[in-house]
Amino acid sequence: MEPEYHERTLTSQDGLKLFYRDYGGPQEPSSGDAIPVLCLPGVTRNSKDFSYLASRLASDRRVLCPDLRGRGRSDYDADWENYNPGVYINDIRHLLTSCGIHRVHVIGTSLGGILTMVMAVSMPGVIASAVLNDIGPEVGMEGLAGIIGYMKEDVSLSSWDEVAEYIRSAFPDLPARTEEDWIAIAKNTYRETLDGAMVPDWDKAIVKQFETALRAKNDLWPLFMALKKVPVLTVRGTKSRILSDATLDAMHDAMPSMKSVVVDDCGHPPSLSEPHVLEAIDDHLAN
């Protein structure tokens, strides 16, 4: 059963309609006085990825799960160059302001984790804590190449079973154990058009800016270290080709206060519904 949330939209400063899920909104008794949580998805992902986690956390706090521009139910941008961290951060700032939120715990998967680091520089007083899901200041180039290749492929799919098999062939180490798990991942990744075709639930122009950003080879360590004043929890899949074990060790060396949890037999990224990960997130938010 789909957890309860409010479907909301806001208009960005440049006129795009941006969608977000609002779990335990301000009118809900469950939201209490606890600091809200902001969940930021990966490069081609959307708010659906956080469905289980957000529903669970909303028992005692408000949880916002936006679709970044060009993903899910948010508008696509006519100018692909706007698919960049500066614009995303501006959208996030606008979202928090419109919701009357001044401080948040941020949970970021992949690109969402990088945006969390950027927030620590551009909005330092806003972040109460950070959860980085399978991302760090050094990103595996082999894993990124695989993601880019997947984003650039143009395939025609006609059923959810086909979508699930296509995703499984591209990313066999995703956190799925059953056919139902793969179908759920498929439905969080693709959407069905009116004529019955299954298409990616993101703007394919995103890959252009993604490739441009990779060529720049920015040093992410200063962004990561900007989080040193708040509690940080990092989650890693043991088979991840994005966040290596060596990088996780280097993160611990640079930030000894950081805590981490690993998910065995899992690639990029963990689902954040694993029992021991949920326990770690509970402890992180409580402390």
Span 196-243, pLDDT tens digits: 899 999 999 999 988 877 777 778 999 999 999 999 999 999 999 999
Span 168-191, pLDDT tens digits: 999 999 999 899 999 999 999 999
Q: Which domains does the chain have, with CATH numbers?
A: 6-139+218-286 (3.40.50.1820)
Which residue bears the tokens 């899949």?
A: 237
Span 138-168, pLDDT tens digits: 999 889 889 999 999 888 799 999 999 999 9
